[in-house]
Structure 1
Amino acid sequence: MSTPSVVLAGGGTAGHVSPLLAVARAVERLVPDARLSIIGTAAGLETRLVPEAGYRLRTIEKVPMPRRPTRDMLHFPARFGQAVRDAAEILRSEEADVVMGVGGYVCTPVYVAARRLGIPVVLHEANARPGLANKLGHRFAAFTGVAFEGTPLKGAEWVGMPMSREISQLDRRSARSEALQSLGLDPEKVTLVVTGGSSGALSLNRSIEDSLNDVVGTGAQLLHLTGRDKAITDDSGTLLELPGYHQREYLDGMQLAYAAADLIIARAGAATVSEVAAVGLPAVFVPLPVGNGEQELNARELVAAGGALLVKDEHFNKSWIRRNILPLLEDRSLLETMEQQSASRGITDADERMARATLRAAGHELDDAEAGQ
């Protein structure tokens, strides 16, 4: 059987690059001699993350579709046409058997180029509200996988979110003790983790700061990932210290936080929602109050299942925390119920599901040894 050539496309943010890399690794596990390459732009996080992961990055120009009449609209057709030609040249040079895309600006010209060359397209949509690139690609895709069951792409298959195996295969119970020790936390206390992502969330930080005495007053401990350059300080400018309160700007390896936590408060990015369900972690989601409301949609199904709470950013304050968070910290049985409901919506093998779909579209039938991996 010939060695498949798989070209993956996507980039810009970690929300695109991370699932792309997870699928690439799954393809390698299934077919170790598969030829893989990745198409991105020269401006996104893929310029760092892809080479760090050991993959070759090919780039084309980022050509966003103008949303309103501007001078850029006049230049769009020529720039987009050139991006399609550049993508086609890469696909030919890689002798691509299949294109697997995760959406974003880079994917539209790659999808178009693949269709013109007769190369099958497989795509994954991470958000409950699909992006423009994947709406286009879905029209002729051989397979579309979605992270959320209710995503409005007719005929798409609910596969979950491809993620790192450090998270998807995490056994929180067996990893808890080591994680707590690694983070310097008390193994006897209920643990609340708060994160606004790597860049942090000032509104979350302010509300948590206002509620610190209430939270630690329950006997719980709080690990607060404030975000870079958003440390909480006292009136003198010194890093705020309080018994039961632990803050870091950033944590390299969220699996540690997931293992240590009994409850997490976070934004509702697609990756975060999918990860907490995969590991069965009760959550409180505070969707980012900008954009087109996709974060609230991302959280909807997990909240409906009873695995999470949802609160608008403007309502997340000291009063809301007292009414909704403190009772959870004081009653482990409530958290255990949420944990079960969260796990019921979790999918832990999305990376492999997408890899298998990609290889099928490439015409590569897995032999018995590969299929059993």
Structure 2
Amino acid sequence: MSAGTRRPLSVVLAGGGSAGHVNPLLATADALRRHVPDVTIGVLGTAEGLEARLVPARGYELTVVPKVPFPRRPGPGLVRFPGSLRRAVGTALAAVRGADADVVVGFGGYVSTPAYLAARRAGVPIVIHEQNARPGLANRLGARFTRRVATTFESTRLPHATTVGLPLREEIRGLDRDALRAEALAEFGLDEGRPTLLVFGGSLGAQRINQALAGAAGDLLAAGVQVLHLTGAGKDVVVAAGEPGSARYVALPYTDRMDLAYALADLAVCRSGAGTVCELAAVGVPAVYVPLPVGNGEQRLNAAGVVAAGGGTLVEDARVDADWVRAEVVPLVTDRDRLARMAHAAAGHGQRDAADRLVALILEAAGHQG
């Protein structure tokens, strides 16, 4: 869009499926509104992913694009794939043209491939954001069509990549842990002055982490530690009511206020999804990362940078049991000097301005000046 054009900037964002795709997409949409208040934003997503609920709830229009997984082995899916992809590209192309888009921004996932192909066909500039250390198929394809590629991690291998970090939701990006600590302690019924351990494994939880921490609950409580354990939906842990100090072990399936959970945490034990790693580093919470032991190993790579910087440690999933908690976690969470050094290192490695940096790239691609 030229400097003299009065038409509002139009941006189409594509991505979805998991929170790892949806959260940075929404954070970027919100940042675009901050920078360009009259921007028009449309979102391409699937009917099955989290975006189907979260995108409209945030006030953005969602166009549903058929989910077209790339077939990884011969079979009926491979035969149907070309036709399915054509239909998905057609839906995306209609949305891009209908929005008169100035730029298409993809975050990976099932809808990004049709979005990139549609943008290329329409002659619309493409911007890519890859949140994981190891890029997915969609963004590896999309990176062939543009020189505007943003990544979360420096280690990510994509052509023309610029490291910007992970766009964070506003309540995390602007989190003042000290200012919220009293509210956080009241929210979860915990005490001031005690070392506080935050345990979580993502929205579905991590059963091995759950069992290990619950199994060592007595040792944590005996050491004066209090625990906020977010177990994941459908996963419960039980600390015996007769256990001394058991009221200081708070187990919940989930919380909508992760900002408050971060505000009270002196140490976290968690998986190392990209969102988790980037949020903890940005707000300066040291962590023991337990990479998911399946998949392509991306969770280990996600945590590598902050661990190398001294803001966290890494442990193999197979080592995580109650004995490991007693031997490793209890001494760490009660060592205030070491935690302070780790928190400083994490905050120094973290990036709170990723959404603003990505927006700058989007505005440059769109030729927008304002």
Give TM-score scaled by structure 1 length. 0.94
Give the residue type in structure 1 aligned to 2:344. Answer: Q
CA deviation profile, 1:10-69 (whole Å, cap 9, x unmatched): 111111111001000110111110111101111111110000000000111111110001
SS in 1 for 2:211: helix
Give the residue type in structure 2 aligned to 1:278. Answer: A
SS in 2 for 1:163: coil
Distance 2:137 2:336 in 1: 43
Query: Residue 293 of structure 2 aligns with which residue?
Result: 289
Are 2:354 and 1:350 aligned? yes
Equivalent of 1:247, from 233, 251, 255? 251
Contact in 1 for aligned 2:211/2:322 (Cα 8 Å): no
- Alignment coverage as a number of residue pairs: 365
Contact in 1 for aligned 2:221/2:245 (Cα 8 Å): no
Distance 1:264 1:297 in 2: 18
Query: Residue 312 of structure 2 aligns with which residue?
Result: 308
Q: How does 1:108-123 map to 2 (within 5 A)?
A: 108-123=113-128
Give the residue type in structure 2 aligned to 1:175. Answer: L
Moved over 4 A (4+): 238-241
**Cα shift at 1:322:** 2.3
Query: Residue 21 of structure 1 aligns with which residue?
Result: 26
CA deviation profile, 1:201-234 (whole Å, cap 9, x unmatched): 1111110111111111211111111112212236
**Cα shift at 1:323:** 2.5
Equivalent of 1:263, from 254, 267, 270? 267
Aligned Cα root-mean-square deviation (Å): 1.7
Q: How does 1:1-373 map to 2 (within 5 A)?
A: 1-2=5-6, 3-233=8-238, 242-366=246-370
- For structure 2, the residue ranges without an aligned partner over 5 or more in a row are none
Give the residue type in structure 1 aligned to 2:97. Answer: R
Distance 2:63 2:130 in 1: 22
Contact in 2 for aligned 1:159/1:354 (Cα 8 Å): yes
- In the superposition, relative to structure 1, how do residues 240 and 7 fare at CA in structure 2: closer, same or farther (>3 Å)? farther
Distance 2:244 2:133 in 1: 38
Contact in 1 for aligned 2:221/2:244 (Cα 8 Å): no
Distance 1:116 1:339 in 2: 47
Moved more, 6-15 or 83-92: 83-92
Distance 1:53 1:293 in 2: 32
Contact in 2 for aligned 1:120/1:142 (Cα 8 Å): no
Contact in 1 for aligned 2:230/2:255 (Cα 8 Å): yes
Distance 1:235 1:252 in 2: 26
Give the residue type in structure 2 aligned to 1:147. Answer: T
Contact in 1 for aligned 2:239/2:249 (Cα 8 Å): no
Give the residue type in structure 2 aligned to 1:212. Answer: A
SS in 1 for 2:246: coil
Give the residue type in structure 2 aligned to 1:57. Answer: L
Give the residue type in structure 2 aligned to 1:313. Answer: D
CA deviation profile, 1:301-347 (whole Å, cap 9, x unmatched): 11111100111111111222222212212210010000011011110
Contact in 1 for aligned 2:277/2:303 (Cα 8 Å): yes
Give the residue type in structure 1 aligned to 2:353. Answer: D
**Cα shift at 1:240:** 12
CA deviation profile, 1:112-140 (whole Å, cap 9, x unmatched): 11011110000110000000000111112
Query: Residue 369 of structure 1 aligns with which residue?
Result: none
Distance 1:273 1:226 in 2: 18
Distance 2:278 2:335 in 1: 25
Give TM-score scaled by structure 2 length. 0.95
CA deviation profile, 1:181-215 (whole Å, cap 9, x unmatched): 22211011010010112221111111011111111
Give the residue type in structure 1 aligned to 2:231. Answer: T
Distance 2:243 2:237 in 1: 6
**Cα shift at 1:142:** 3.9
- In the superposition, relative to structure 1, how do residues 39 and 147 fare at CA in structure 2: closer, same or farther (>3 Å)? same
SS in 2 for 1:78: helix
**Cα shift at 1:169:** 1.2
Contact in 1 for aligned 2:197/2:227 (Cα 8 Å): yes
Distance 1:181 1:253 in 2: 13
